[in-house]
Structure 1
């Protein structure tokens, strides 16, 4: 096993996701999303799909926040759409997108 030498303190992560809630629990799901630090809802469709972003300082941080949302009883599915990593250390490293 190799040790990860990447300094995550200088990273900025942002991920966009779509949540598919049980429609009757839409308001509860939206409240659960915004209760997680670093989240912001950007749109909700007429069918109830919720588009939101999560900000964090590492892959692990983003993953933990996704897991907090994913286990809500009103969510049918949570689909990641985009994840970008920016290096804020001042190095000339290229940002990572996935």
Structure 2
């Protein structure tokens, strides 16, 4: 029996989280976060809260990575903060057709 490869998408997802670790395990928790592909730690508070992001290509990809981190024995709680989805195919189409994406026209107010 062969495993199905996950369907490739043109989406780019980035989600941010705050992890609340057991203070005595903070270094192990940080290592576990960084061991997951597409993660980056942005800040750690004095109280031990860890702010990090996960990048992926689908909701499912972000969810799998989040679950891998969430079940670490040193994490008390993992809270999602933000999730952004970009459709890269729109930008690719615009570039291929020589269209301007996100055009900005300055306005003069009198």
TM-score by length of 1: 0.84
Query: What is the count of residue pairs matched by the alignment?
Result: 86
Q: How does 1:9-48 map to 2 (within 5 A)?
A: 9-48=9-48
* 2:110 corresponds to 1:76: no
Q: Which has the larger radius of gyration?
A: 2
Task: Give unpaired runs (5+ residues) of structure 2.
Answer: 1-6, 95-110
Could you give the per-residue CA deviations for residues 4-35 of structure 1, whole angstroms, max 9, x where no partner exists? xxx86100000000000000000000000000
**Corresponding residue SS for 1:68:** helix
| Between 21-30 and 7-16, the greater mean CA deviation after superposition | 7-16
More strand by share: 1
* Structure 1 runs (4+) greater than 4 angstroms displaced: none
Quote the Cα distance in structure 2 between the aligned partners of 1:55 and 1:78.
16
Give the CA RMSD over aligned residues. Answer: 1.4
TM-score by length of 2: 0.75
Q: Could you tell me which residue of structure 2 aligns to residue 96 of structure 1?
A: none
Q: Could you tell me which residue of structure 2 aligns to residue 4 of structure 1?
A: none
